[in-house]
Structure 1
Amino acid sequence: MRIYTRSGDKGQTSLIYGDRVDKSDLRVEAYGTCDEANSAIGVALSHLIREKWEGKTEFLSSMQKIQTILFHVGAELATPKGKKVTWELKKEHIDELEQYIDKWDADLAELNNFILPSGHEASAGLHMARTIVRRAERTAVALGDEVNTLVVSYLNRLSDLLFVAARYVNQHLGGKELPLHPDV
């Protein structure tokens, strides 16, 4: 199988089930942004591979599961309204994100001010992924009733999780959180 098909050379692409749409279509933007976020998470996690951190394996396993679900969220966004999705997002997936958030946040110092994305490379990368997920969420919201409402909830919660995960990584790997100084 070739990696190139030349079918997108005129600015269109295929959704799942073969429907052709412009590459500027909001649906394409939404699933493309999920793919971008997934790649950013992967870059952040690659920085953790070399670290000596006792909880690394469990954290990496959780994050890789999240990456897999995010891939499926993108596939759901690539499925036209009214068509059956091959893998369906469920409320349990959102509940699982909340469990990770609660577990990791319980170890963190309370925040009394905004922080700048900073610290360990993995933490900064997770902050970047968080902002990309927020863009995916905004795009999914713009699609309105074209999108399963759980997709928007999942993306919203995932951005919260990535914020907590970035702080969690900083704390465990000695990354310094930089507070926002509004008087600059």
Structure 2
Amino acid sequence: MVVLNKIYTRTGDKGDTALGNGDRVAKNSARVNAYGTVDETNATLGLARLHADGEMDAALERIQNDLFDLGADLCRPEMEKDAEAEYPPLRIVQSQVDRLEAEIDAMNKTLTPLRSFILPGGSPLATHLHLCRTVSRRAERLSVELAQIETVNPAAVKYLNRLSDWMFVAARVANDNGLADVLWVPGANR
């Protein structure tokens, strides 16, 4: 259980922070950059939810919860020591990736195939989902970068890869099932 009765601690005033295992690292470390950008992705989803309702809002809420799981996963290094931990670390699992894939497939059934790239825009919800997509892509790039120097749960990287795809398809759904997509016209302003 999390109890936060004092928000500031002053422990990071010199530019370091604690990871989930208690180790202290620089606030600009690769690991902190990765899970910090996952947090930023979650905040952009909060903005998107201002324009969502029904099943779309429920799906975005599920994803926001998953992103907290993902942040918890990324802030806990040394997966090989998970079995020794006093409390088992929270890790993203394949079923969370599978759920995203199933939802992408279900949404995509309602859409006609694209014959052009689309510009981020259209409805307010679609525009916010495109922002979520680009921020989640950055979180993925940073997680891949981290995985090149430290151990990272492979399911976490898969989740971020599927998440940006989910956001792209959901943005099309939010644009009247693709009818209000803003199409890219190559060289239109030459």
- What is the TM-score of this pair, normalised by structure 1? 0.90
Give the gaps of 5 or more residues in structure 2.
83-87
Residue 127 of structure 2 corresponds to which residue in structure 1?
A: 124
How many residues are treated as equivalent by the alignment? 176
**Does structure 1 residue 69 correspond to structure 2 residue 66?**
yes
**Counterparts of 1:168 and 1:141 in 2: how far apart (Å)?**
29
**Counterparts of 2:175 and 2:132 in 1: how far apart (Å)?**
15
**Counterparts of 2:180 and 2:13 in 1: how far apart (Å)?**
46
After superposition, the C-alpha distances for 1:113-161 in whole angstroms (9 at most, x for unaligned) are 1000001111111100111111111111111251011111110000000
Select the residue among 10, 13, 17 that pairs with 1:9.
Answer: 13
**Counterparts of 2:92 and 2:35 in 1: how far apart (Å)?**
14
Give the gaps of 5 or more residues in structure 1.
49-55
- Please say which of residues 139-148 and 174-183 is displaced more in the overlay: 174-183
**Does structure 1 residue 79 correspond to structure 2 residue 83?**
no
8 Å CA contact retained: 1:108, 1:171: no
Q: Residue type matched to 2:66 in 1?
A: I
Select the residue among 84, 98, 102 that pairs with 1:99.
Answer: 102
Residue 34 of structure 2 corresponds to which residue in structure 1?
A: 30
Q: Residue type matched to 1:98 in 2?
A: E
8 Å CA contact retained: 2:104, 2:166: yes
- Report the alpha carbon displacement of residue 86 of structure 1 after superposing the two structures with TM: 2.6
**Counterparts of 2:165 and 2:61 in 1: how far apart (Å)?**
17
**Counterparts of 2:167 and 2:67 in 1: how far apart (Å)?**
13
Considering only aligned residues, what root-mean-square deviation do their CA atoms show, in Å? 1.6
Q: Secondary structure at the match of 2:17?
A: strand
**Counterparts of 1:95 and 1:88 in 2: how far apart (Å)?**
15
**Counterparts of 1:138 and 1:146 in 2: how far apart (Å)?**
15
8 Å CA contact retained: 1:119, 1:177: yes
- Report the alpha carbon displacement of residue 70 of structure 1 after superposing the two structures with TM: 1.2
8 Å CA contact retained: 1:120, 1:175: no
Select the residue among 132, 152, 175 that pairs with 1:147.
Answer: 152
- Report the alpha carbon displacement of residue 27 of structure 1 after superposing the two structures with TM: 0.3
Residue 159 of structure 1 corresponds to which residue in structure 2?
A: 164
**Greater than 6 Å deviation, 4+ residue runs:** none
Select the residue among 17, 24, 31 that pairs with 1:20.
Answer: 24
Residue 85 of structure 2 corresponds to which residue in structure 1?
A: none
**Counterparts of 1:175 and 1:33 in 2: how far apart (Å)?**
31
- Report the alpha carbon displacement of residue 175 of structure 1 after superposing the two structures with TM: 7.8
Q: Residue type matched to 1:61 in 2?
A: A
